[in-house]
A = this chain, B = another copy of it.
Amino acid sequence: MGIQDAIAGLSALLGHRLTRSKSDLDLHGRSESHFHDAPPDAVAYPETTREVAEIIRICVAEGCPVVGWGVGTSLEGQAQAFHGGVSVDFSRMNRVIEVNQEDMDVRLQPGVTREALNEELRATGLFFPIDPGANATLGGMASTRASGTTAVRYGTMRENVLGLEVVTAEGRIIRTGTRARKSSSGYDLTSLFVGAEGTLGLITELTLRLHGQPEAVASAVCAFPSVQDAVTTVIETIQMGLPVARIELMDRASIEAVNAFSGTNLPVMPHLLLEFHGSESGVKETSETFGDIAQEHGGTGFDRATRPEERTALWTMRHNAFYAILALRPGARAVVTDICVPVSRLAEAIEGTRADLEEAGVQGPILGHVGDGNFHAVLLLDEHDEDEMARARHVADQMVARALALGGTATGEHGIGVGKQRFMEAEHGDAWQLMGVLKQALDPGDILNPGKLVPPRN
């Protein structure tokens, strides 16, 4: 019994769809973040749910770890094989099975990427709004409980997964949820698997809520004297119930980076970038009302972008902000922090982070999904400079400690993986132990993505 026996069994099952080539192992051991490479012993490419079930049965019998793989964009090491074993790559399970236009839902396989889904939906008048930036797979996004710039309007994966097909550690295929919009029928297993990072089962199919492509879209950008002014504007906007679809913050350092990278000429001040979805007259009214609120809090240079090319330019700038920040220090490794606090405490959390960064001498422009209270400092680091890495780690720890003290969470959207396990006890207390009890009950052999999220076994 062991990993090699499992690989023999998987090889018999999958033939050439079980690979051990060095390039493939290396690829599946990498992360977009700062974790060291951790390749699996083999990579499996299933094509059906039954094959996934068979893979898990073989691996459980042999005590071989199983790690799900979408496209490897997770940021906390979720998809890396720190204990070896088999990486289950869902790239061959990438079919959109059924679009139900009248019910505004879609059933699809976990390897479909966000962009591929929206391409497929283009002609239907519907779209899937959740946008974490990266072109992640929907299976991965569900497993990480991802969100992004549009969560303030459309929610996160938590609110947009109606149901799942999951292979459990017993190798059973179960279905959670239905296509009905709501249900009070038993434990909410869908929500249990969403965000479980593949530690309780592998998602083999998803049913997602879709949304109507808005009749009209408008964007706006506005500069503020301070982060506090920008945040106060956000709070009033949300309290008024203005239907903003995106409301993003960029701090001074981010704006400087973007100006240098994109050749823009924005004033070096905190900015809010917004998008409004609705009817023609609705978005006009909403953006004007927003403009009034912004002005009351010192907002200047309020600019509405209603033409598609202006909007595209604005959001391309936002999406490229990460690369713009990276370009500030060529060759640097970026560590992207991710805390989320009650919106009223956001300015405090950002200003505190800014002060910590200055004190530590670490460069870290700040970007935020400010409608949710979620923000990222993009720490630019020389990974060979141990002292700098230690100082950066200290800043990241302080960010989380502050988030928890302010009633927030260690991660708004990136998840736990191995990168944030050290904060779980502080955030959840005994509830983290309860997560371990659930893991033990559903995966007694600790086969599914071992070493991630839950407490270490005794």
Complex interface: chain B residues within 8 A of A194 (CB): 188
A103 engages B343 (CB within 8 Å): yes
Q: Which residue of B lies closest to A435 (CB)?
A: B187
Which among B186, B195, B214, B285 is the interface contact of A188 at CB below 8 angstroms? Answer: B195
Q: Please indicate the chain B residues that have their CB under 8 angstroms from the CB of A32 in the complex.
A: none
Q: Kindly list chain B residues whose C-beta atoms are within 8 Å of the C-beta of A191.
A: 158, 188, 191-192
Determine whether A376 belongs to the interface, using a CB cutoff of 8 Å to chain B: no
- Cβ-based interface call for A409 (8 A): yes
Q: Which of B144, B156, B442 contacts A437 (CB 8 A)?
A: B442
Interface residues of A in 170-225 (CB under 8 A from B): 172-176, 178-189, 191-192, 194-196, 200, 211-212, 214-215
With an 8 A cutoff between CB atoms, is A14 at the interface? no
Cβ of A416 within 8 Å of any chain B Cβ, yes or no, is: yes
Cβ–Cβ contact A343 & B151, under 8 A? no
Residue with the greatest number of chain B CB neighbours at <10 A, chosen from A172, A239, A437: A239
In the complex the two chains form, is B281's CB within 8 Å of A372's CB?
no
Interface flags for A218-257 (1: CB within 8 Å of B; 0: not) read 0000000000000000010011110100000000000000
Per a CB cutoff under 8 Å, which of B174, B404, B441 touches A441?
Answer: B441
A414 contacts B by Cβ under 8 Å: yes
A226 smallest CB distance to B (angstroms): 17
- Residues of chain B within 8 A (CB-CB) of A432 are 186
Query: A102-B235, A184-B145, A188-B194 are known contacts. Are A408 and B178 too (CB-CB below 8 A)?
Result: yes
User: How far is B169's CA from A327's CA once the two chains are assembled, in angstroms?
Assistant: 53
Given contacts A184-B416, A420-B185, contact A175 B428 (CB under 8 A): yes
Knowing A172-B430, A180-B409, A342-B105, say if A441 contacts B435 (CB, 8 Å): no
Chain A interface residue count, CB cutoff 8 Å, equals: 97
- A330 within 8 Å of B by Cβ? no
CB distance A180 to B342 under 8 Å?
yes
Does A429 reach chain B (CB closer than 8 Å)? Answer: yes
Quick one: CB contact mask for A143-154 with B, threshold 8 Å, 1 for yes? 011110001000
Within the complex, the shortest CB–CB distance from A187 to chain B, in Å, comes to 5
Does any Cβ of B come within 8 Å of A258's Cβ?
Answer: no
CB distance from A39 to the nearest CB of B (A): 25
User: Are B408 and A182 in contact (CB-based, < 8 A)?
Assistant: no
Residues of B contacting A403 in the complex (Cβ-Cβ under 8 angstroms)? 180
A155–B155 CA distance with the chains assembled, in angstroms: 11
Smallest beta-carbon distance A142→chain B, Å = 11
**How far apart sit A264 and B342, CA to CA, in the bound complex (Å)?**
47
For residue A413, CB closer than 8 A to chain B, the reply is: yes
Residue A31 lies at the interface, judged by CB distance under 8 Å to chain B: no
Known: A174-B429, A180-B407, A408-B179. A212 touches B185 (CB 8 A): no
Q: Does A434 contact B (CB under 8 A)?
A: yes
Q: Which residues of B contact A435 (CB under 8 A)?
A: 186-187, 189
Contact residues of A between 371 and 413, Cβ < 8 Å to B: 371-374, 403-404, 407-413
**Contacts A100-B344, A192-B192, A434-B174 known; A374 to B187 CB distance under 8 Å?**
no
Determine the distance from Cα of A447 to Cα of B187 in the docked complex, in whole angstroms. 17
Chain B residues contacting A241 (CB-CB under 8 Å) are 211-212, 214-215, 277-278
Chain B residues within 8 Å of A176, by CB: 428, 431
Q: A155-B159, A159-B155, A176-B431 are in contact. Are A412 and B182 (CB under 8 A)?
A: yes
What 6 A-B pairs are tightest by C-beta distance, nearest first?
A: A191-B191, A441-B441, A102-B344, A183-B409, A179-B407, A180-B340
- Other CB < 8 Å A-B pairs besides A179-B407, A212-B239, 12 of them? A102-B343, A144-B184, A156-B182, A181-B372, A182-B412, A184-B414, A186-B428, A186-B435, A211-B241, A281-B281, A282-B282, A441-B441
Chain A interface (Cβ < 8 Å from any Cβ of B): 100-105, 125-126, 144-147, 151, 155-156, 158-159, 168, 172-176, 178-189, 191-192, 194-196, 200, 211-212, 214-215, 235, 238-241, 243, 277-279, 281-282, 285, 289, 340-344, 371-374, 403-404, 407-416, 420, 423-424, 427-432, 434-435, 437-438, 440-442, 453-454
